[in-house]
Amino acid sequence: MMIIFFYIMFFCGVWVFTSNHKHLLVTLLSLEFIVLVVFLMLYYYLSGYNNELFFSMIFLTFSVCEGALGLSILVSMIRSYGNDYFQSYIMLQC
């Protein structure tokens, strides 16, 4: 039952990631939601079989690095272009 709930949460995150192409912030939030769901699935799997949970700490470390990188890209984009719309970013590149 819990696995089905995790899959529903994962596909909701993927749906938000693929359906909204307007703001970078919403895209980054949906990516963080997907990473959180994957972490919960990993933790549930590893604790269910009494395995070592050290890998989950490594996964959390990489997900925090990914979040920090996404935030730095967002801040640099807002400082350069004034907003986080994808449409204005593509128009300013030409």
* Domain residue extents for the chain: 2-93
Q: Are 34 and 16 in contact (CB under 8 A)?
A: no
Q: Residue 57 contacts by C-beta under 8 Å, 6 or more apart in sequence?
A: none
2 against 69, higher pLDDT: 69
Q: What is the CATH number of domain 2-93?
A: 1.10.287.3510
Q: Are 6 and 40 in contact (CB under 8 A)?
A: yes
Model confidence over 10-48: pLDDT tens digits? 999 999 888 877 888 888 899 999 999 999 998 888 888
Supply the DSSP string of 49-70, one letter for each residue: TT---HHHHHHHHHHHHHHHHH
Q: What percent of the chain has pLDDT over 90?
A: 35
CA 75 to chain CA centroid, Å, is: 17
